[in-house]
Structure 1
């Protein structure tokens, strides 16, 4: 079967790899921003929700390329600090913040907070925008706890702090194969596969 081409609207190489891995058995050929000459494109994400920001990214790239585009907006919600960092997860410690800086800020805000109050979830909104004007927006979530220190070498972002209850290990300890089966992004992409199968046909 001929594969449909999909541009993934992200400049984050970790996200691109993760999305590509989860969709590798699907009838889509993934193109990066670099592949469509949009590397370094700055998109102002001024939405108030994950869904709004995902749509902003997908619409912008679709309009510039005329191609079917997928975008995600994802982040961590921690209940103890009023669901922060939320949509500001990537820049929690300021514009241009590194993963290390963001994790350090989060640990500081949770200092002295007992494990039972460190609940949270990863959230991923996945948007698909088609040249014909159709749009699909779906959400995936994964519940967990925030650890007291970073553990594990795999993953990115808050993965070394996010403990999955089923395994009592962080995403960074579990590795990509297990993470992709149960992560917020994996769950959102599973829903997207089902929606795309209905729209585009295929396996």
Structure 2
């Protein structure tokens, strides 16, 4: 079942990761990069920010659009960085700077008080004018675990090198991509999203 969707991000790593995850579940789907302007993410939750981005991409391209808002939530920080994960060390900070600041903030915190989880919310926006009709859907996924003391691993990006998934003694960046893609917060959100994507694809096929 062929389907093209735009992913509302300028991050090539995310486009590749989404293509792998979706492609394993829905052969024939193509995830297209987004080349439009970035909207202001002024939501106060993962869901609000994901919808802001997906709506902007759908409006700009006229295509079915996906967007995710994800981040790491640390128990002892009351759920922070949360929606501010990508800019924890500043709006122009690198992944390495964000990770280092988080580790410095928890330098004196020992196990078992280093609990954390990755959260992912994926928004699906279908613009008007398509056979399936305009609609929006939000799916969520959570990957529990803990923070490592130092970065480890060369796979993944963002906070992957300091996140140890529950039940494992390695970080997300030490997992093979296929293992991570099967277990991650995005994989769990996609599991909830897939029935909606398949339904939209079926409606588009029927309306052609």
Query: Which TM class, normalised by the smaller chain length?
Result: over 0.9
Q: Which residue of 2 aligns with 1:7?
A: 6
Deviations 1:81-108 (A, max 9, x none): 1111000000000011101100110001
Measure, in 1, the Cα distance between the counterparts of 2:30 and 2:75: 38
TM-score (normalizing by structure 2): 0.90
Q: CA deviation at 1:23?
A: 0.9
Quick check: 1:67–1:130 contact (8 Å CA) kept in 2?
yes
- The CA RMSD over aligned residues, in Å, is 1.3
Deviations 1:91-144 (A, max 9, x none): 000011101100110001101111100001000000000013200101001000
Q: CA deviation at 1:168?
A: 1.2
TM-score (normalizing by structure 1): 0.93
Deviations 1:138-160 (A, max 9, x none): 10010000010001111000000
* Aligned residues between the structures: 196
Measure, in 2, the Cα distance between the counterparts of 1:158 and 1:175: 16
Measure, in 1, the Cα distance between the counterparts of 2:56 and 2:200: 22
Runs of 4+ in 1 over 4 A off after TM superposition: none
Q: Which residue of 1 aligns with 2:90?
A: 94
Measure, in 2, the Cα distance between the counterparts of 1:103 and 1:182: 22
Measure, in 2, the Cα distance between the counterparts of 1:105 and 1:79: 16
Matched, 1:192 2:193: yes
Deviations 1:50-93 (A, max 9, x none): 00000000001101111100100000000101111000000000
Measure, in 1, the Cα distance between the counterparts of 2:176 and 2:41: 29
Gaps of 5+ in 1: none
Q: How does 1:118-137 map to 2 (within 5 A)?
A: 118-131=114-127, 132-137=133-138
Quick check: 2:15–2:32 contact (8 Å CA) kept in 1?
no
3-state SS, counterpart of residue 115 of structure 1: coil
Gaps of 5+ in 2: 128-132, 204-208
Measure, in 1, the Cα distance between the counterparts of 2:20 and 2:39: 25
